[in-house]
Amino acid sequence: MANGEIIEKIASIDEQIHDLRKMVLESSSRIKEDETRAAARAWLAEAKKLEKNWPKTAPLLSLK
């Protein structure tokens, strides 16, 4: 996977984090909380896969 693709995936994960935070703040039911947790586990798994593939020489990025 090229560095550009990895950066795009990280940006996508960052957007998903934002959406998840919004869902948590707006959540008023147990179902939404369960959906939010499931989505959080899914993006975390994806982030871990990217982290394993990230080259050791890649620059550090701040996603704040």
**How does pLDDT run across 13-64, given as a tens digit for each residue?**
888 888 887 877 776 666 667 777 888 888 888 878 777 777 665 666 655 5
Residue 36 lies in a domain: yes
User: Which residue range forms the structural domain that includes residue 31?
Assistant: 3-53
Alpha-carbon gap, residue 63 to 2, rounded angstroms: 19
| pLDDT at residue 21, as a whole number | 77
Residue 58 lies in a domain: no
User: For residue 6, what are its two tokens?
Assistant: 């990895």
Residue 9 lies in a domain: yes
Model confidence pTM above 0.85: no
Residue 20 lies in a domain: yes
| Domain count along the chain | 1
Residue 59 lies in a domain: no
Residue 63 lies in a domain: no
| pLDDT at residue 23, as a whole number | 76
